[in-house]
Amino acid sequence: MHPQLDSPRFISCQEVIEALEQCHRRSYLERCFGICNNEKEALTKCLHEARMESQKHQILKRKEERKKVQDNWKKLKEDEYGDEQFLKKLLEREKAKKGN
């Protein structure tokens, strides 16, 4: 079973899709004996490659977005405690001195 083949994400597989559709227009008896199996396997392979490429692109996009979020959090912490969290370290040292 294949997904919707008219989706824009499968433009790279358009030739294989058309070949399979043309094969399916043949007689029922020919299709029963597997005349379209090669086209179907080629389509399955092409769709898999397209999906993997899409996933790879999405993973890279999410990594970039995550890095931006982490950079924003780091900037917020630096704004709150100063560069390299100097104020936080100083407060922790003072707290440790009072604890002893």
Provide the mean pLDDT of the chain.
86
**How many of the other CB atoms lie within 10 Å of CB of 2?**
12
Name which residue leads in pLDDT, 39 or 7.
39
Print burial letters for 15-46: b (CB count within 10 Å at least 16), e (below 16). Answer: ebbebbeebeeeeeeeeeeeebeebbebbeeb
**Residue 15: pLDDT band by 50, 70, 90 thresholds?**
very high
Per residue in 57-84, pLDDT tens?
A: 999 999 999 999 999 998 887 777 777 7
Per residue in 80-99, pLDDT tens?
A: 777 777 777 888 888 898 87
Which pLDDT belongs to residue 2? Answer: 67
